[in-house]
Each structure stands twice: as C-alpha cells, then as structure tokens.
C-alpha cells in the first residue's frame, strides 16, 4: 500500500487512529467535509462530500487502499442516513472500482446486529438484525462490500465496530470495547493480509464479557491487547450514573434498540 485514503478523517475515530499510523504508509490521504487541521508530513487532505460522486472520485484517485470511516456515525433522520451512508457508501465503492483501488476496509458497526439479545454469542455469519436506520445503513454497506468483492474483485473487509476509545465507558461497552491500537491491527489485516477476499470481522478488543465470536479475526492473526476487564470497576461506576433502560439492556445495541421502540420485545 503506497497511498491509503481515510474518509471521515475529521471524526473522533480517525483522530485516535492517525497518531498511531505515523510512517505506516508512504502517504495517508485524508478526506472529510473539512480538514482535521494540522497534517503530518506523510498526510495530505482532499475535501469531499460523500454524497457527491465527483468529489469522492477525486479523493479516491491514485489510492491503493481505502479506510472508509466517513458518513453519519449515529442514528439520524432518514434523509441524513440516506445521503451520508447509503448514497455515500455507494459512491465510495464505485469510485474505488473505477480507480482500480485494491482494498477497502469499511467501518460497519455493532448496530447492524444490535437486536441480538445479550444472552447470545453471535458469529459474523448471522443474519443482520439492525437496531436503527443507522444500523440498516451499515448492513447495506456490508452487502455492497460483498457485491464489489464478488463481482468486481475488490478485497473488502467490514469491521463491525463496537465502541472505540481508550477505556470502556459503561457495562455495555465492557462487552464491545475496541482500543484504537486494536482497531489499527484489524485495519491492517484488511489492507495487507494476503487471504482477504470478503470478510466481516468484529471490532472488539480482548473483552471477557464479549457477545461476539471473533475467531475469524484471530485466524487472520488478530491479537487484541486491550482487556476490558482491567477497567471494570471504573466502567461499572459510570454505569451507576446512567438512567435505567430495561429494554435496551436486553439487547446488544443498547439505547439504539430502545430509542423509538414500539414493537414486541423478543429474546
């Protein structure tokens, strides 16, 4: 990988990743609506609105790999999700195909499977159970990735990311926490591992309370270093300050499940 594009470069996850990527690739091209500010010597910036195919094509041009973090990163109105995550994701994959990009790592989310109960340990091949319009858009991105891999030969890795940060923030995050350096390990598997055709991997650190079977990631060499249990006391103290959410607490997606819920709770 000589030139790698990172979309969503002004977002929080990119802000945690970029310092860890110094010198990793000869050029890290960043793109977002606005610049993240000061750039390192090995970073460049191209402004791009994901909803605009021409701008996305300019951002992707000349890149060997793409880390697609861009889009709307939480639940939102349909029109917002449609433009940023559905149209935007299609623009990204199509621009990648046309530009001859070899690999795409797509930041999917745990919310693509958020309606699985916490009592179930799920593999990556389960049927998607999105908990929000946002989760639906991530399931769409995973499907789009499979299509571009199978039909057009892109090597695609979808990471169902839990919650990225230096520490797990509450009880739910003890199960889905992902330390930034562990995320980088997964991204590098997607960009560099010789066996990638199309993969879905869970973006989680070494969490004893995990709800996910991430054995495929391990077989590709993933060895997470973050251990959620080292932070249990702090996470549970933070949990005590949160409002009770009996419905959300039954499902892996938490508040994304209870937000606007008027269905029949199962599982």
| DSSP annotation string for 122-176 | B-TTSPP--SSHHHHHHHHHHHHHHHHHHHH--EEEEEEE-EESSS--SHHHHHH
Distance CA 30, CA 16 (A): 14
Q: Which residue's CB is nearer to ligand 15L, number 109 or number 157?
A: 109
Q: Which residue's CB is nearer to ligand 15L, number 74 or number 265?
A: 74
Q: Which residue's CB is nearer to ligand 15L, number 99 or number 257?
A: 257
Q: Are 114 and 252 in contact (CB under 8 A)?
A: yes
The contacts of residue 254 (CB under 8 Å, 6+ apart) are 114, 172, 245, 248
Positive/negative CA dihedral, 87, 109, 38, 65: negative
25 counts as catalytic: no
Q: Which of residues 145-174 bind ligand 15L (CB under 6 A)?
A: 163
Contact with ligand 15L (CB under 6 A) among 7, 91, 109, 175: 109
Check 134, 148, 202, 222 and give the catalytic one. 134
Q: Which residue's CB is nearer to ligand 15L, number 63 or number 139?
A: 139
Minimum CB distance to ligand 15L, residue 110 (Å) = 5
Q: Which stretch binds ligand 15L (CB under 6 A): 60-68, 109-117, 142-150, 206-214?
A: 109-117
Cβ count near 127 (within 10 Å): 8
Q: Does 35 bind ligand 15L (CB under 6 A)?
A: no
Minimum CB distance to ligand 15L, residue 99 (Å) = 27
Q: Does 110 bind ligand 15L (CB under 6 A)?
A: yes
Looking at residue 77, the DSSP 8-state letter turns out to be: -
Contact with ligand 15L (CB under 6 A) among 90, 111, 171, 179: 111
Minimum CB distance to ligand 15L, residue 73 (Å) = 4
Positive/negative CA dihedral, 8, 12, 18, 21: negative
Give me 213's structure tokens. 């079977």
Q: Does 73 bind ligand 15L (CB under 6 A)?
A: yes
Q: Which residue's CB is nearer to ligand 15L, number 3 or number 118?
A: 118
Q: Are 131 and 257 in contact (CB under 8 A)?
A: yes
CA dist 38 to 34, 180, 257, Å?
12, 20, 38
Minimum CB distance to ligand 15L, residue 111 (Å) = 5
Residue 44 CA neighbour count, 13 Å, CB half = 13
Contact with ligand 15L (CB under 6 A) among 20, 33, 47, 74: 74
Site residues (CB under 6 A) for ligand 15L?
A: 73-74, 109-111, 163
Q: Which residues are catalytic?
A: 134
């Amino acid at each position: 990988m000589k030139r790698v594009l990172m979309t969503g470069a002004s977002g929080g996850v990119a802000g945690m990743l970029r310092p860890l990527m110094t010198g990793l690739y000869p050029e890290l091209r960043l793109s977002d609506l606005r610049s993240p500010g000061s750039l390192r010597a090995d970073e460049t910036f191209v402004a791009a609105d994901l909803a605009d195919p021409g701008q996305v094509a300019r951002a992707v041009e000349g890149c060997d790999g793409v880390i697609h973090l861009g889009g709307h990163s939480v639940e939102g109105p349909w029109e917002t999700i449609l433009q940023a995550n559905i149209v935007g994701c299609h623009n990204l994959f199509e621009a990648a195909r046309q530009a001859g990009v070899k690999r795409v790592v797509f930041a999917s989310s745990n919310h693509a499977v958020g309606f699985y109960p916490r009592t179930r340990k799920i593999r990556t091949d389960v049927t998607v159970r999105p908990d929000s319009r946002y989760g639906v858009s991530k399931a769409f991105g995973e499907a789009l990735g499979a299509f571009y891999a199978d039909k057009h030969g892109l090597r695609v890795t979808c990471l169902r990311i839990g919650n990225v940060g230096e520490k797990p923030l509450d009880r739910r995050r003890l199960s889905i926490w992902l330390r930034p350096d562990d995320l980088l390990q997964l991204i590098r598997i997607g960009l560099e591992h010789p066996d990638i055709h199309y993969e879905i991997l869970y973006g989680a650190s070494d969490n004893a309370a995990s709800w996910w079977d991430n054995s495929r990631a391990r077989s590709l060499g993933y060895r997470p270093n973050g251990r959620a249990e080292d932070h249990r006391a702090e996470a549970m103290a933070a949990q005590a300050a949160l409002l009770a959410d009996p419905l959300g607490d039954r499902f892996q997606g938490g508040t994304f499940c209870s937000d606007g819920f008027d269905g029949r709770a199962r599982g």
